[in-house]
Every structure is written in C-alpha cells, then in structure tokens.
Amino acid sequence: MSAKSSTASACLMGFCALVLAASAAAAKATFTKVKVPHANPTLLEVMNNHGALAGQYSEVASGPAFIRAPDGTFTTFAVDGAVSTIPRGLSDDGAVGGRYDLPDDSIHGFFRDPSGTLTLFDAPGQGAAEIVGMNAQHDILGIYFPEDGDLAGFIRHPDGSFSTFAVDGANPAYLSLAGLNKAGVAAGSYTDANFVGHGFLRQPNGEIDSVDAPGAGRGALQGTSVSFINDNGAVVGFYKDKHDALQAYLRKPDGTFHRVQLLPARFLRLSGLNNNGDVSGCYSSNDIWRGFIRKAGGKIVTFDLPWGNSKDMCTVGINDAGQVAGYVRYGSFGQKEFGFLRTP
C-alpha cells in the first residue's frame, strides 16, 4: 500500500468538496481503539496490508514511535537524541521508514528493518524538508533542499544511494509529493510560475510525466493536484475547472481519466487509495467529522466512530483488505487522542 502524503489532505488550493456519488449507510464493521498504554496522545500515521499500524506517541520530553502488530501488541522505538520519531511508511514485512527531528529543528531520515535495526540518513544537498513515505521495496521518498535552496525530490534506495529529481517549470516553493509505489513511480503536484496546479509522475528511469485532468482550468489557483498513487499505477486527486468548481478524478494505469461525482461538503480530506481502487477519507458535516470509503465500483460507505462524535477525526489510509485506520481527538485541546482501526 502506498504511503500517505505528509499533509494527508486532498483539498486543492484551499477548496474542498466531498467525493460522494450517493449516500450509503455504513455496513457492519468492527472498530478497535489504538492507544499506546499510558500514553496520550497516540498519533496513528500509517498501516500495512496485514493491519499492522505505526505512529508516534507522547512522552514527557520526546515523541517516540510505535508499531502495533495485528494481534494488538506494541513495539516502541526512538532515535537517540531526537525530539520526535515519526513513521511515514510501513511495509508488509514490518520495515518502517520515516523522519526524526533534532532539537535544532533539522529533519533527518531513518529506516528500521524488520529485525529492529535502525539506519539513519541525511538527505542530499542542504538536508530534508520532509520524509513522505516508503514503498514495498524499502525505497524512501522525500523532499530536500538542493544547494540552490529550491525544493526537489529524492528517493533513498535500500543500498543507501539516492536518486534526485526536479520538475521543469515548477515554482520552486510549491512542490509536494504524494507517494511512491512498488514499481518506483513517485507521484506529486506542483504549481507553475502562473500558480496553475499540475500533477506529475516520476518514472524509475527519471522521466517526468504530466498529470493534467481534462477540464482543469488554466488560471491562477486552478489546475490539477495528485493525492495518492497505488501499486498498480492508479492515481486519485482533484482538479479545479475554469469556473473554479472543484472536481475529483481517478486516473487509471492506462492514463485514462474518470471524473468522480461530487456533492458539496464544508471540508474534505482523502487519506488513501488501495490496490483494489478503493479510496478512504473524511468529511465535515455540521461541524462533525465522519469517515468514508468510496469503493472501486462507486459505492460510498460512510461511518461514525462508536466512541462518539468528534470535531477532529480523519482516516489515514485503507489497505487491500479494506481495513481503514485513522485518528480521533476529543476535548478542546485534544485531551484524549488515539487511533482507530475499522475492519469490515
């Protein structure tokens, strides 16, 4: 399963809409609370296809990481001297890729193999701006600052070597990456000099393919954005047309675009795209956040959590088994914050 992007948001240029073709009642499902014992908050970040989960939890002076196995057992770890250790990818064999932050606010990368051995690394150039995700082959995707100070992308390979890339025509300050699939295809978005949005796919041979949805506007704050890529090469995202109306699209591996019907919502986030073509996300209705799954065939399943409504909840991904992971916060300042796993 492709890792999520660092923002986990599919709102294009400040505008959001709900990807719903029709309302559908939630099917019977079980919900499991995910909370590191004696910790608050528990920040769930990523999930693999076996239902293992990884994230970060709070302690007095640091933010260590955790892995929750499918049987519910927790393993915790942290980079020595880091103020936070944040998983960004969890492979099916149990490896974790992510970032750690030092007291000087610098960002660095780590790889934890399935045996628990940690390997630390620095991004090329002037260092990392973000670690975005990791694929099944343990390639780690991130954004870094080249020597000229602009933003560019990198892929760290398991042998420790790096592939770097930039997108011609991109506004240097407006590059985002959405994920890296098992074939080594990186997906992302950028805005050009006229502040028009475009999506792109960076192929393993270094070629950059444009992702511009048919009907996308060409004015400032219009255009196309990419939210997620799956291992089959399908991409989901948004585009804003010439009338500033926001639309969702699915781009299939063969390059064909399919529009996804929208219904208005105050806010929306997409959180994942599995290899079956199912999309997960969350939306706001009457200031209450709810989760949804859009099945590959177009059916929508919406759901609430059994612990009560929240003004701050969202999903973080959907795996190939249809399990959805997410987080929820209760209280004005997140006095109770934990993860959840929805199993169909």
Tell me the domains of the chain and their CATH numbers: 30-343 (2.130.10.10)
CA-based R_g, the chain, Å: 19
pLDDT of the residue at 150: 85
Question: Which 3 state secondary structure label does DSSP give 336?
Answer: strand
The mean pLDDT value for 230-257 works out to 94
Q: Is 147 exposed, middle or buried (0-12, 13-18, 19+ CB in 10 A)?
A: exposed
pLDDT band at 286 (very low <50, low <70, confident <90, very high): confident
Query: Quick check: 340 pLDDT over 60?
Result: yes
DSSP 258-298: EEE--B--S-EEEEEE-TTS-EEEEEEETTEEEEEEE-TTS
The Cα 93–Cα 96 span in angstroms is: 9
- pLDDT-based confidence at 5, cuts 50/70/90? very low
Q: How far apart are CA 130 and CA 143, in angstroms?
A: 5
Which one of 17-21, 257-261, 340-344 scores highest in mean pLDDT? 340-344
Q: What pLDDT, in 10s, does the model give residues 9-61? A: 444 433 344 444 444 445 589 999 999 998 889 999 999 999 999 999 986 55
pLDDT (0 to 100) of residue 47:
98
Output 25 or 302, whichever has higher pLDDT.
302
Is the pLDDT reported for residue 207 higher than 90? yes
- Confidence band, pLDDT 50/70/90 cuts, at residue 2: very low
**What are the pLDDT digits (tens) for 102-121?**
999 999 999 999 999 999 99
Average pLDDT over the chain, rounded to an integer: 89
- Give residue 149's pLDDT: 73
* Residue 331 confidence class, pLDDT cut points 50, 70, 90: confident
Of 185 and 17, more confident: 185
Structure-token match 């630390």, residue found: 120
Task: Answer yes or no: is pLDDT of 237 > 90.
Answer: yes
CB 253 within 8 Å of CB 203? no
Mean pLDDT, range 152-171, rounded to an integer: 96
- Report the alpha-carbon distance of residue 239 to residue 10 in Å, rounded: 10
- List the single range of 118-127, 135-144, 170-179 with lowest mean pLDDT: 170-179
Bridge partners (DSSP) of residue 327 are: 314, 339
Give mean pLDDT, residues 254-273. 80
